């Protein structure tokens, strides 16, 4: 998606309720990245962004500093700021965080009324995407499910941390765009996980989630390693 299209509606949504700080701009861009609207390699034009968001370039640069610290964007001297493409060490760090917070949320989190129905709806969307062969749809549903699992913790701080992790995960998913099986075989693993939570098997679900995350990390690292080897030939 072109950057202009990804930014549509941002200014209108922000002017009403937000002070346009660097933190707010970083949150807006992070959300667009985690939604897959700004893929790796997208150049983030200071002029276009400052106009779309109604902020100064100094405020925008504050946001870039925040996002660069999260490895979500990359500053390239004399060229500008680009949405990053995570490497192997970035993937390892992402999964270190995920293994700590996601199983804990599943094991100890609260399950308010309506939560299980919401999880079931996400699984339905994932299965529809699988049937349609939509990699984007499967990736979207996967992101939404894991965000919902962390929200069981009831912690705003963990929700914010997961938003950062999901932004990086979306960039990782772009590397797997030509590997539909990566997404397809996690659809039913997600469904089984939700079924365990629904049946009250919280310990089993947390243990399975750790195995699931280990498997996903191994698969991503293998793909990145193979891609690097191909480039070196």
CATH of the domain at 16: 1.10.10.10
29 shares its domain with 95:
no
**pLDDT confidence of residue 32:** 87
Q: Which residue has the tokens 């922000």?
A: 14
Its domain, for residue 184, covers: 88-232
CATH of the domain at 209: 1.20.120.530
Residue 5 has pLDDT above 80, yes or no: no
Is the domain of 202 the same as that of 148?
yes
| C-beta neighbour count of 117 within 10 angstroms | 10
Same domain, yes or no: 47 and 138? no
Please enumerate in sequence order all residues whose Cβ is within 8 A of that of 6, keeping only pairs 6 or more positions apart, or say none: 32, 37, 38
> How many domains does one find in the chain?
2
Judgement on whether residues 122 and 141 belong to the same structural domain of the protein: yes
**Residue 76, beta-bridge partner list:** 80
Q: What torsion, rounded to 10 degrees, do the Cα atoms 179, 184, 189, 195 define?
A: 150
The confidence score (pLDDT) of residue 33 equals 85
Reduced to 3 states (helix: H, G, I; strand: E, B; else coil), residue 75 is strand
Would you say 200 and 94 are in contact if contact means Cβ atoms under 8 Å apart? no
Pair (138, 207) in one structural domain:
yes
List, for residues 192-228, the tens digit of each pLDDT value: 999 999 999 999 999 999 999 999 999 999 988 876 6
Task: Kindly state whether residues 75 and 186 are assigned to the same domain.
Answer: no
Q: How far is CA 216 from CA 91, 173, 228, in A?
A: 10, 11, 18
- For residue 211, the model assigns a pLDDT of 96
User: In what helix (H) or strand (E) does residue 82 lie, and over which residues does it extend?
Assistant: strand 80-83
Average pLDDT, the chain: 87
Rounded to the nearest 10°, the torsion over CA 221, 151, 40, 125 is 90
pLDDT band for position 132 (50/70/90)?
very high
Task: Indicate if 198 and 94 belong to the same structural domain.
Answer: yes
**108 and 212 co-located in one domain:** yes
Based on the fold, state whether residues 71 and 99 are members of the same structural domain: no
Mean pLDDT value of segment 45-55: 90
69 and 101 in one domain?
A: no
Considering the domain architecture, whether residues 93 and 51 belong to the same structural domain is answered as: no
Query: Which domain-ending residue is among 52, 83, 114?
Result: 83
Domain end residue (candidates: 13, 48, 83): 83
Give the percent of the chain with pLDDT over 70: 87
CA 155 to chain centroid, in Å, comes to 18
39 — pLDDT class (breaks 50, 70, 90): confident
pLDDT at 15: 46
Q: Which of 83, 116, 141 is the last residue of a domain?
A: 83
pLDDT at 79: 93
77 & 168 share domain: no
How far apart CA 210 and CA 193 sit, in angstroms, is 11
Residue 230 pLDDT class (50, 70, 90 cuts): low
Integer Cα distance of 13 and 135 in angstroms: 29
At 1, the pLDDT band (50, 70, 90 cuts) reads low
Predicted pLDDT at 2: 58
């Amino acid at each position: 998606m072109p950057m202009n299209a990804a930014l549509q509606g941002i200014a209108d949504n922000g002017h009403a309720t937000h002070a346009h700080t660097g933190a707010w701009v970083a949150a807006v861009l992070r959300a667009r990245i985690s939604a897959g609207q700004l893929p790796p390699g997208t150049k983030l034009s200071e002029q276009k962004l400052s106009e779309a968001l109604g902020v100064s370039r100094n405020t925008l640069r504050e946001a870039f500093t925040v996002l660069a610290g999260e490895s979500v964007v990359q500053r390239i001297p004399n060229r500008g700021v680009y949405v990053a493409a995570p490497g192997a060490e970035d993937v390892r760090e992402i999964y270190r965080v995920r293994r700590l917070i996601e199983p804990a949320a599943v094991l100890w989190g609260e399950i308010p009324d309506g939560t299980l129905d919401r999880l079931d709806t996400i699984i339905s969307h994932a299965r529809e995407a699988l049937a349609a062969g939509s990699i984007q749809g499967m990736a979207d549903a996967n992101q939404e499910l894991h965000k919902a699992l962390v929200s069981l913790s009831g912690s705003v701080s963990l929700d914010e941390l997961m938003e950062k992790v999901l932004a990086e995960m979306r960039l990782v998913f772009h590397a797997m765009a030509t590997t539909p099986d990566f997404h397809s075989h996690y659809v039913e693993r997600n469904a089984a996980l939700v079924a365990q939570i629904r049946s009250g098997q919280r310990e089993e679900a947390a243990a399975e989630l750790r195995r699931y995350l280990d498997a996903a990390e191994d698969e991503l690292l293998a793909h990145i390693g193979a891609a690097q080897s191909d480039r070196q030939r």
